[in-house]
Amino acid sequence: MAYTALEKMRRINEKEFGYDVGPMQPELLKGADRANDLKSAALRFLHEHCEGLRFSEAIEEQETKSSRYFGAGVKPNQIPYNMQMDLDRLCLERALERFIDSGVAEDAYDVYYCYLEMFFGRYGKSKKMVELLSEFEANGSSLLMKHRDHYSHSVYVFALGLAVFETNRYFRHAFHTYYGFAADENERSCKAAHFFLEYWGLTSLFHDIGYPFELPFEQVMSYYEVNHQTRGRDSLYLAYRNTEAATALNDAAKAHFEKLYGRTFHTSIELLAFDITQKLGGEYGFSEGYLMRQLELKPTEPDRFSYFMDHAWFSATRLYTELQEIYGDDLNTTHVDALSAILLHNSLYKFSIAFYKDREKGKPRLGMSRHPLAYLLMLCDELQCWDRTAYGRNSRTELQPMAVRFDFGNNAIVADYAYDADEQDKIDRYDAEYAAWKEGGKQGNPPRLKAYSDMAEERQRFVKDIESIVDLTDIPLTVTCATETADRKHKHIYLSNSNFLHIHDFAVALNARHAHEGHEDEVSAEQLEQEFEELSLEYKMSNINQVKAFSRYLHAIRCFYTDRPVDFDMLKEFTPEMIDLFAPMEHERWVREHQAMGWRCGDAYEHVTVPRGVEQNAYRKMLREHTRCHKLTMNGPVSSEQIRAHYETLPDSEKQKDWQPFNSMLKLIKKFDGLRIYRLDL
């Protein structure tokens, strides 16, 4: 049973109501119980093998003793705590499903949001850490010669790792063994799956958050490279000073790590140098002193590293600061493993430890049993080269794969990368040049068409590079490539655009539109934030998804939102004509969202006897959360036309809930910096 707390509530409800009223088990993606594609394998891991994620027996016992619930629905203390944990996991499952379908940054945001809420305690604590990466890339990367997205990329890497863990028994065994899960424990141990999800999520989702430090360095380099100057001795470059400001450990952290490791560290870099040396030093023949020197020089003397700045150094140190603030003395050795995996993943392992392009040094490839998180990160980071927004000048003209089909069956990986058929002329030119190079005796370097040539050429440079980094003995990799017609409609890109940081603010304002209608001037932004934080993850995500749908609604009524100054008239209120267009659209979004989250049509909560002395409306809303039935939703597969017809049957009082408070939202959103809605010129 995938969602056990929901099933437990279902049995309680059946006893109280006298019949099976719900909640029902959420459905796994059709066919995902057997298929080994990326989407099926990743979702199957979350759905079937993470039962009981973040459950608390102690809280459940406390609920029984006190006859109170400590889980939140639309309000605090409405449902059992473990039921809320089940619904949180379902939110993550649905968010990952949406992202794999679209690949867009706004859906990647959902995955980050769910992870931070579930494992960091609250999204607001760490939102700028991840959101600024997207903002830096979107706004600053066009100045670079080569750069592609790392925000959506990281969520794809996360999904790849889940799929590998789900399908490859050799990696599961290596992970279980490394982290001490009992040898006789079921291979599909939920405990091990929970552990993997938390620490793999930490490793994969945050491995590139240091790019905002690398981007300024590359912008300076690009200023000269645009004139065809190569980076080197004559390059003007940036270097970082006062790195202790980013790495120094406070006294509490020093004492904590001394207890964990039996020695004193003064900086996070010292800690990570020790950890990596313990894991790899013996096999690769380096000392802690050597590695410490390499790490000291990376941000301060990039000329020693071929004039490149290593974002992984900044990702690891930045994430350490965040973890220390959140976890304090609960920060453990596996957190350190995640940090060292991040530090290794870019250039440190390749060029300072393994020297992977220097055959004479003969260093071994990284095995999964040596450092499972680092192994998986390097593998998945290399595999994730498809569907990445190109920002850099040269990157926008290169041929990169737009999609991929994976098969993770038989403890192997088969990846079929797809290239845009509209770029066939580039491929034809490359094929002709490559054929001529072969006929000419293969003199000089072969022609390149990155990344297509790395997959299509006889040498299979793409696979060979991965094989030279990680040991693929237990995960054989096969790569093919082909062209196909691009379908970009699924990305749903509209004119509305804002600073990425505003999605959360917009959701806060949307959530408050009912409660403060007519009193918008009397409420502060801080109060709105507090009200939003009291929601469960399910209802927070509902507001966030409504924000993302809002660009489609505004597109339909010839409006858009932005945080940039534009020469258009600001929208003061929604007219009845506008409402007639977008209210049915919002109802469809609401119905489909409820279906995805396991809600059914029903009104049992309206036909119960409310105990004396209990406020009726609050009690019935609580029962609605318990049964996960709602009288306004719909059951089974339904078309847009059927939902529209359903909307037309609703009483006016219910229809008004889909549109009336939006004019209040227009006023509330002004409390947050910069975001406004404008009308297109008619």
pLDDT > 70? residue 345: yes
Instruction: Work out the pLDDT band at 567, boundaries 50, 70, 90.
Output: confident
pLDDT at 396 over 70: no
Would you say 559 and 494 are in contact if contact means Cβ atoms under 8 Å apart? no
95: left (phi over 0), alpha (psi -120 to 50) or beta: alpha
Which residues, other chains included, contact 416 with Cβ-Cβ below 8 Å and sequence gap of 6+?
Answer: 404, 405, 406, 479, 480, 481, 482
Residue 420 backbone dihedrals phi, psi, to 5 degrees? -65, 125
pLDDT of residue 516: 73
Which is more confident, 266 or 547? Answer: 266
Distance of CA 50 to the CA centre of its chain: 18
End-to-end CA distance of the chain: 55
**pLDDT over threshold 70, residue 500:** no
User: 203 pLDDT band (50/70/90 cuts)?
Assistant: very high
How confident is residue 241, by pLDDT bands cut at 50, 70 and 90? very high
pLDDT band of 106, cuts 50, 70, 90: confident
Q: What is the pLDDT of residue 590?
A: 93
Q: What percent of the chain has pLDDT over 90?
A: 59
Would you say 64 and 12 are in contact if contact means Cβ atoms under 8 Å apart?
no
Main-chain dihedrals φ then ψ at residue 383, nearest 5 degrees: -65, -30
The alpha carbon of 440 is separated from its chain's Cα centroid by a whole number of angstroms, namely: 48
User: Is 50 exceeded by the pLDDT of residue 670?
Assistant: yes
Q: So what's the pLDDT on residue 389?
A: 65
Which of these, 480, 475, 440, 477, lies nearest to 457 by C-alpha position?
A: 480
**Pairwise CA distance, residues 216 & 669, whole Å:** 32
Between these two residues, 643 and 566, which has the higher pLDDT value? 643
- Contact present, 306 and 364 (Cβ < 8 Å): no
Instruction: Tell me what pLDDT residue 392 has.
Output: 41
pLDDT of residue 552: 84
Is residue 518 within 8 Å of 453, Cβ to Cβ? no
pLDDT at 276 over 70: yes
Residue 494 has pLDDT above 80, yes or no: no
Is residue 147 scored above 50 in pLDDT? no
Q: Which of 31, 209, 82 is nearest to 536 (CA)?
A: 82
pLDDT tens per residue across span 505-523? 778 887 887 777 666 777 8
pLDDT for 324 beyond 50:
yes
pTM for the complete prediction? 0.93
| Digit-coded pLDDT (tens) for 285-301 | 999 999 999 999 999 99
Report the SS3 class of residue 266.
coil
The pairing of strands 569-570 and 600-601 is: unpaired
Res. 73: pLDDT tops 70? yes
- How large is the average pLDDT for residues 390-409? 73
- The answer, yes or no, to whether residue 669 has pLDDT greater than 80, is no
What confidence score (pLDDT) does residue 682 get? 52
Give burial (CB, 10 Å; 0-12/13-18/19+) of 180.
exposed
Confidence band (pLDDT; 50, 70, 90) for 246?
very high
pLDDT average, residue stretch 600-610: 92
Angstrom distance (rounded) from CA 214 to CA 412: 34
- Spatial neighbors of 102 by CB under 8 A, at least 6 apart, are 490, 491, 492
Confidence of residue 114 (pLDDT cuts 50, 70, 90): very high
What pLDDT sits at residue 284?
95
Min mean pLDDT across 9-13, 232-236, 380-384, 494-498 is at 494-498
Residue 390 has pLDDT above 70, yes or no: no
Q: What is the pLDDT of residue 496?
A: 64
Give the residue-averaged pLDDT of 584-601: 94
Tell me the average pLDDT across 150-167.
Answer: 94
Q: What is the CA radius of gyration of the chain?
A: 27
Domain range summary for the chain, segments of one domain joined by +: 1-91, 105-397, 413-491
Give me the pLDDT at residue 450, please. Answer: 76
565: nearest Cα among 675, 679, 663: 675
Q: Which of 2-6, 317-321, 328-332, 654-658 has the weakest average pLDDT?
A: 654-658
Give the residue ranges of DSSP H helices in 277-423: 282-284, 288-300, 311-327, 333-344, 372-383
